[in-house]
Amino acid sequence: MDKKRVTKELLDSIKGYQDRVPYQSPFALQPADRKVDAENLKDQVRRSKIVESLEEAIKLSGLKDGMTISFHHHFRNGDKVLPMVMEIIARMGFKDLRVAASSLTSAHECLVDHIKNGVVNRIESSGLRGKLAQAISEGLLEYPAVIRSHGGRARAIVEGDVKIDVAFLGASSSDCMGNSNGVVGKSICGSLGYAKVDAAHAEKVIMITDTLVDYPNYPISIPQTDVDYVVVVDEIGDSSGIMSGATRFTKNPKELLIAKKVLEAMLASGLFVDGFSMQTGSGGASLAVTRFIREELIKRNIKCSYALGGITKAFVDLLEEGLVGKLFDTQSFDLSAAESVGRNEMHQEISADFYANPFNCSPAVDKLDFVVLSALEIDKDFNVNVISGSDGVIRAASGGHSDTAAAAKMSIIVAPLIRGRLSTIIDKVTTVVTPGSTVDVVVTDMGITVNPARPDLKEKFLAAGLDLVEMEDLVAAAKFIVGEPKPIEFTDEVVAVVEYRDGSIIDVIKKVK
């Protein structure tokens, strides 16, 4: 076209247009990594993002020493993406990388070697388990590991505290442009809730799939607009590895007793009315709570409006029975859930941002009535530890614990008073993940106790005839049974930092002596 229509001189004469540029050609202005020549325009539009190998994609991504790479843990123990990618990255000779994973599991022990070899020097994750956790607790890392809740990680990424340079995202299916999901293909994992956040904010996104489908893929969990490269590999994960916690109804009498007491507390709270909402975990007691809730819903002829969080078969069954209106799924906790989220439109995949980022306009946790959460340790100030063992070694995950506890109208922490020869209810938790001020009710096999900050709940529980115990009495009973635990001896070296969901530092984990 006649380029003289708009000149710099003309723009200079228009109010507010002094620093603007005249049109040159259709693809003259573009993000720096993409250029289209003025000749044969239509042949150059990028209509496929498939690259031949992970190595090629890594080269194209511009990865450099010291950068931040990210992974999701939707395959949990079945993940094959992180080991595969890290092996190639190590072979390519990269150093000093930060691994910002949504969580790390037993599938990720290879990181111990990559840290030893200098490929990785920083780890950020919701959880750490097994050999990796042990090694980090022993001071393997140059920088302390960073533990974040799911909502806290979403916040950190969205707000730019964590800038991901290259996200390596496994998806069970993708088309040639990167439209992808976790519900179609040979290796399904269900929701891609954590991966969605990485995809939306990473500088470069490499989509890794073992099932390439025709364009356009359906459903679209991660859109092509977020994806830079697509790599097809043999296998991204083992679907059977996604299983988390119990799936069968517990016969453990302690768990059944706790579940029964949880239900009593929920019923007494005044919140168990038509349209209430809830999140429960995947442990034995939680699963039993879900079963008891089902019976109450039927008896009272009411419905739960939505259930949130990691979704299990128990909730899929409630949805299919019409007892729960909708499921909001950040993470599918078993194959039934993974299949359901791809099949039932009322079982909705949500991002970790939608789930729990405290800095967006409002995450889904803000509408929770009940959350039932487990604990490794609870102290007399109601603080909860879900990250480190009573030996001081990192062993579990922050998850959505502090996010849901802070927002739910009634947060319920469940735990047996004693596990083996260790007390769960103690004077001071080894590590604080969830602050006591957000914990409303603690339910143990030895009784229910209410946070003194919630006299309203205590009053309702007493009016309903519930037996309540005082926190001090639980601590004393535990001491009576198993004795005073020997204090853990730590060095001064900080091996991990626990971030609260708002980015402040709520605790640190020190190296064990």
Q: Which amino acid is at 105?
A: T
Output 252 or 305, the one with its CB closest to its own copies.
Answer: 305
Site string for its own copies, 410-429 (x = CB under 8 A): x-----------------x-
Site string for its own copies, 356-375 (x = CB under 8 A): -xxxxxxxx-xx--------
* Residue 502 binds its own copies, judged by CB under 8 A: yes
Distance of CA 411 to the CA centre of its chain: 19
Residue range at the interface with its own copies (CB under 8 A); choices 7-15, 74-82, 86-94, 469-477: 7-15
Q: Which amino acid is at 193?
A: G
Q: Classify each residue of 395-431 as buried b or exposed e, where b means 16 or more C-beta atoms within 10 Å of its C-beta.
A: bbbbbbbbbbbbbbbbbbbbbbbbeeeebbbbeebbb
CA distances (Å), 211 to each of 57, 63, 184, 232, in order?
A: 17, 25, 8, 7
Output 20 or 91, the one with its CB closest to its own copies.
Answer: 20
Bridge partners (DSSP) of residue 425 are 378
Output 95 or 291, the one with its CB closest to its own copies.
Answer: 95
CA distances (Å), 31 to each of 27, 28, 403, 497, in order?
A: 10, 10, 37, 36
Residue range at the interface with its own copies (CB under 8 A); choices 6-14, 61-69, 189-197, 332-340: 6-14
Output 76 or 122, the one with its CB closest to its own copies.
Answer: 122
Residues that bind its own copies (rule: CB under 8 A) add up to a total of 95
Chosen residue from 12, 18, 30, 463 binding its own copies by CB under 8 A: 30
Contacts 24+ apart (CB under 8 A), 29-35: 33/62
Distance between CA atoms of 42 and 507, rounded to whole angstroms?
56
CA distances (Å), 285 to each of 56, 94, 174, 220, in order?
A: 47, 45, 37, 35
Chosen residue from 22, 83, 118, 485 binding its own copies by CB under 8 A: 22
The full 3-state SS of 168-205, as one line of letters, equals EEEECEECCCCCEECCCCCCCCCCCHHHHHHHHHCCEE
Six-digit token string for 404? 């849901």
Residue range at the interface with its own copies (CB under 8 A); choices 35-43, 126-134, 253-261, 313-321: 35-43
The full 3-state SS of 434-450, as one line of letters, equals ECHHHCCEEEECCEEEE
Residue range at the interface with its own copies (CB under 8 A); choices 14-22, 127-135, 233-241, 282-290: 14-22
The end-to-end CA distance of the chain, in Å, is 75
Residues 59-118 within binding reach of its own copies (CB under 8 A): none
Identify the sign of the CA torsion 249, 252, 255, 257.
positive
Output 245 or 503, the one with its CB closest to its own copies.
Answer: 503
Residue range at the interface with its own copies (CB under 8 A); choices 166-174, 289-297, 460-468, 495-503: 495-503
Residues 188-227 within binding reach of its own copies (CB under 8 A): 205, 214-216, 218-220, 223-227
Chosen residue from 79, 353, 377, 445 binding its own copies by CB under 8 A: 353
* Residue 6 binds its own copies, judged by CB under 8 A: yes
The candidate with the shortest Cα–Cα distance to 326, out of 295, 342, 303, is 303
Chosen residue from 2, 9, 52, 489 binding its own copies by CB under 8 A: 2
* Least distance in angstroms from the C-beta of 399 to its own copies: 17
435 burial (CB, 10 Å; 0-12 / 13-18 / 19+) is middle
Distance between CA atoms of 399 and 421, rounded to whole angstroms?
26
Residues 130-189 within binding reach of its own copies (CB under 8 A): 142-144, 177-178
Chosen residue from 13, 18, 240, 491 binding its own copies by CB under 8 A: 13
Residues 333-352 within binding reach of its own copies (CB under 8 A): 345-346, 348
Distance between CA atoms of 309 and 306, rounded to whole angstroms?
10
Distance between CA atoms of 92 and 37, rounded to whole angstroms?
32
* Least distance in angstroms from the C-beta of 468 to its own copies: 19
Six-digit token string for 248? 């069968």
* Residue 18 binds its own copies, judged by CB under 8 A: no
Chosen residue from 75, 370, 461, 500 binding its own copies by CB under 8 A: 500
Chosen residue from 9, 16, 52, 160 binding its own copies by CB under 8 A: 16
Output 288 or 387, the one with its CB closest to its own copies.
Answer: 387
The candidate with the shortest Cα–Cα distance to 370, out of 280, 289, 297, 454, is 280
* Least distance in angstroms from the C-beta of 421 to its own copies: 26
Distance between CA atoms of 115 and 12, rounded to whole angstroms?
56
Chosen residue from 5, 248, 251, 486 binding its own copies by CB under 8 A: 5
Output 369 or 445, the one with its CB closest to its own copies.
Answer: 369
* Residue 437 binds its own copies, judged by CB under 8 A: yes
* Least distance in angstroms from the C-beta of 481 to its own copies: 25
Element (H, E) at 54: helix 54-61
Chosen residue from 12, 20, 56, 117 binding its own copies by CB under 8 A: 20
* Least distance in angstroms from the C-beta of 307 to its own copies: 11
* Residue 240 binds its own copies, judged by CB under 8 A: no
* Least distance in angstroms from the C-beta of 221 to its own copies: 13
* Residue 328 binds its own copies, judged by CB under 8 A: yes
